Amino acid sequence: MIATLLSRIVESGLLEDPVAENGLVYGRASLEAAGTVVNVNVDPEVEEDEDEEDGDPDALVAAVARVLSMSEKRWRAIVEEVAVDIEDAVDEEPVAEQTDLRDDLEATSVVVFADAVLLAFVAPKQFPESRILVQLDETLEVEGIEVREPDGTEVIDVDTLDELLDLISRRDRD
């Protein structure tokens, strides 16, 4: 399924340099209505133990095309609904910087599933530490909106086991 999906996406020309990896096909594409380039992941949701022929690559390619070619009017309606929903939820809570959320929202990625689309936004002025996830149905109508706060987990990169042990022992002494 993944190989077929990758082949169809390459043929379509929808994504720049598409790659198949970890059960996904991904690449970058222009989201014209938003005036930006986004990362696009296409997830056929086929489990490793399932028949490779499950899923419909043509339907997924069509869904990618539908999202990337949405009208500017539809895009503005999505942004408006997201802004209103978040503004209503936040109400009087403090935000990092007072600015119109509609102007602050920046699309960063699109995940396409067989029956849904997930848009990821950042709002660097109002929600600098958060991601805004918007689920769309097959007709690109908003189904759900979530502001995902960072989980507070610190990530530390080390190159060797010795570095990790040194780091742990220093923290134990502090």
pLDDT tens digits for range 66-108: 999 999 999 999 999 999 988 887 765 555 556 788 888 999 9
In a domain, 87, yes or no: yes
In a domain, 159, yes or no: no
Quote the number of domains for the chain. 1
Q: In sequence order, what are the residues at sequence separation of 6 or more whose Cβ sits closer than 8 angstroms to the Cβ of residue 1?
A: 44, 46, 52, 53, 54, 55, 57
In a domain, 135, yes or no: yes
Instruction: Look up residue 65 and give its two tokens.
Output: 């095309």
Contacts of 80-84 spanning 24+ positions with Cβ under 8 A: 81/142, 81/145, 82/121, 82/132, 82/134, 82/142, 82/145
In a domain, 171, yes or no: no
Of 17, 14, 34, 36, whose CA–CA distance to 112 is shortest? 14
Instruction: Look up residue 145 and give its two tokens.
Output: 């909106």
Q: Tell me the mean pLDDT in the region 41-61.
A: 75
In a domain, 131, yes or no: yes
Between 17-26, 101-110, 137-146, 157-166, the lowest mean confidence (pLDDT) is in 157-166
For residue 154, what pLDDT is reported?
46
In a domain, 35, yes or no: yes
Band of the pLDDT at 7, cuts 50, 70, 90? very high
How far apart, in whole angstroms, are the C-alpha atoms of residue 142 and residue 111? 14
pTM of the model: 0.78
In a domain, 157, yes or no: no
Residue 52: pLDDT over 50: no
Domain that holds residue 17: 2-148
In a domain, 118, yes or no: yes
